[in-house]
Amino acid sequence: MLAFYRNLAKLTRTASKLAGKKGTDLPGKVLRKVNDNVLTKLASDFDEIVFVTGTNGKTTTSNLIGHTLRSAGENFINNFEGANMLDGIISTFAIQGRNNTKLAIIEIDEGSIKRVMKYITPTKFVINNFFRDQIDRFGEIDTLIATIGEQLEGKQIQLILNSDDPFVTRLSKYGEDNIYFGIAKEAYQFSDFGISESKFCPNCGMELIYDHVHYSQLGFYHCSKCDFEHQSVKYEVTKATVEPFINMSINNGEVIETKLAGDYNIYNLLAAYSLLKELGLSEDKIKKGLGTYTPTNGRMQSISFANGSTVLLNLAKNPAGLNASLAIANSIKEEINYLLVLNDNGADGIDISWIWDTDFDILLGQNINNIVCSGKRAKELALRLKYCGVNANVVVNEAIPEAVAKLKSYNEKYAIAIPNYTALVETQRELEK
């Protein structure tokens, strides 16, 4: 029967691609029509199923893990195309699965955990961070984390947790043999990303006391009233530089040189490293894999234009992610341009009020000539920039192809392109033309 499901999925994917679609979700949708419990069947022979989640960085983390395992010659499946909801995950198991494949690395949308865990339970769960994201779809952070906790409880899942994030550490009581990772206090000085999420103890509600803050709510903390605190870590970044690519040492080991820019990616690299070590991969294989990974999926992807300009493309879909993306240019001294793209489709969350929580004052210290605003809510972006008072020429064009053409008409050496979720694919396609 498994062969039937796999063949049907492959035929459906082929048909979807012939129709001009990506073919990542439709096979899963079709298989669910045949058997609602198909995911349980497809995953039944796997020895290790690893879920990777977090509001920001889960795709990069999952792809770092997948790239490293692939470079090491390991046999596994991975939804590297980012189809991280139920149908996409079913498609991954059906299309990539083989009888001798025993390891699955599955990026999972934090809002889909309850639905997916109705059918399968992971053996390990990597959780990187929680920031406020798509309020109208997920609800506030407390609601989301409580829902995830309900799914983890009593399942004997090993949790691999970012100890620097109190929202993540809050889930530790639901895991078994938990592993923690984090960044040492003096390892790296992050840019000021502005917004801070709630810093109150999840156990008793008292305000957390911070000994050190990396950015937002990430850092070293403890509660003055109860025993909730930053956990001792097994894997720790002890030194990091970003010039513009990340070089970092973990547990005072040899420097890992990477091709990833954006200092927030230190956490994604560390999360990937922690999981790979727990899977038993050697230090040399991990170092090689992490060091050769190059983004191609709109997460700190570098694209060159015919005129010699370079654009850094990075997805951002919430205040913390957009703050981090805006801060990328803090280290660029040359004149730069921006392309900001904002949609409000269902997958984005139709509530775009989060752009007013974003710290656009980050732009005030940068050498910006032009900012092109695009997408369905381009005008709201331009209004937000007006209230920020940024000194740049602001252009509004809702049509993404025309906005990208405008960006390409400029001659500055560097540009930063930041689309949100449903704007990413079209923006990437137009930039790469």
Q: In terms of domains, do 341 and 240 share one?
A: no
Q: Which of 104, 93, 40 is nearest to 69 (CA)?
A: 104
Bridge partners (DSSP) of residue 341 are 374, 419
Q: Is 201 annotated as a binding residue?
A: yes
Q: Rounded to 10 degrees, what is the CA torsion of 261, 262, 263, 269?
A: -60
Question: Known binder of ligand: residue 388?
Answer: no
DSSP labels for 158-215?
EEEEETT-HHHHGGGGG-SS-EEEEE-TTT------------B-TTT-PBEEEEEEEE
Specify the pairing of strand 310-314 against strand 336-341: unpaired
* Last residue in a domain, options 236, 267, 292: 292
Query: β-pairing, 245-250 with 256-261?
Result: antiparallel
Whole-angstrom Cα Rg for the chain? 21
What is the domain extent for residue 399?
301-432
Q: What is the pLDDT tens value at each position of the chain, 433 positions in all?
A: 899 999 999 999 999 888 888 888 999 999 999 999 999 999 999 999 999 999 889 999 999 999 999 999 999 999 998 899 999 999 999 999 988 999 999 999 999 999 999 999 999 999 999 987 544 444 478 888 999 999 999 999 999 999 999 999 999 999 999 999 999 999 999 876 555 666 788 888 899 999 999 988 999 999 989 999 999 999 999 999 988 789 999 999 999 999 888 888 999 999 999 999 999 999 999 999 999 998 888 888 989 898 889 999 999 988 888 998 998 888 788 999 999 999 999 888 899 999 999 999 999 989 999 999 999 999 999 999 999 999 999 999 999 999 999 999 999 999 999 999 999 999 999 999 9
Based on the residue annotation, tell me whether 351 is a catalytic residue of this protein: yes
CATH, residue 424: 3.90.190.20
Q: What share of the chain is helix, strand, coil (3-state, %, to 5)?
A: 40, 25, 40
Contact indicator for 210, 219 with CB cutoff of 8 Å: yes
- 269 and 312 assigned to the same domain: no
User: Are 187 and 261 in the same domain?
Assistant: yes
4 and 24 share a domain? yes
Which residue in 45, 136, 284, 351 is the catalytic one? Answer: 351
Q: Are residues 281 and 242 in the same domain?
A: yes
Q: What is the pLDDT of residue 133?
A: 57
Nearest to 6 by CA among 28, 37, 33: 28
**Overall number of domains in the chain:** 2
220 shares its domain with 320: no
CATH code of the domain containing 121: 3.40.1190.10
- β-bridge partners, 396: 373
The amino acid that residue 272 corresponds to is A
pLDDT for the residue 136? 40
The sheet carrying 256-261 orders its strands as 77-78, 103-107, 48-53, 124-127, 158-162, 179-183, 235-242, 245-250, 256-261
240 and 140 belong to one structural domain: yes
CA–CA separation, 400 vs 273, rounded Å? Answer: 36
User: Is residue 79 helix, strand or coil?
Assistant: coil
> What six digits make up the tokens of 385?
């920039």
Residue environment code for 218-235, b if the CB has 16+ CB neighbours within 10 A, otherwise e: bbbbebeeeebbbbebbb
The pLDDT score that the predictor gives to residue 330 is 85
Q: Indicate whether 271 and 349 sit together in one domain.
A: no
Backbone φ, ψ for residue 109 (5° rounding): -60, 130
Last residue of a domain, one of 292, 316, 335: 292
Strand order in the sheet with 393-396: 299-304, 310-314, 414-419, 336-341, 368-374, 393-396
Beta strands in 63-167 (DSSP E): 77-78, 103-107, 124-127, 158-162
CB contact set of 132 (below 8 Å; sequence gap of 6+): 55, 140, 141, 197, 318, 319, 320, 354, 357
Q: Please indicate if the annotation marks 373 as binding a ligand.
A: no
136 and 200, same domain (yes or no): yes
The contacts of residue 272 (CB under 8 Å, 6+ apart) are 61, 64, 65, 68, 290
Helices (H), ranges, 283-358:
283-292, 319-326
Tokens 């090993």 -> residue: 158
Domain boundary among 235, 268, 292: 292
Residues 226 and 343 in one domain: no
Phi and psi, residue 54, nearest 5°: 150, 150
Specify whether 238 is located in the same domain as 379: no
Please check whether residues 348 and 412 belong to one and the same domain: yes
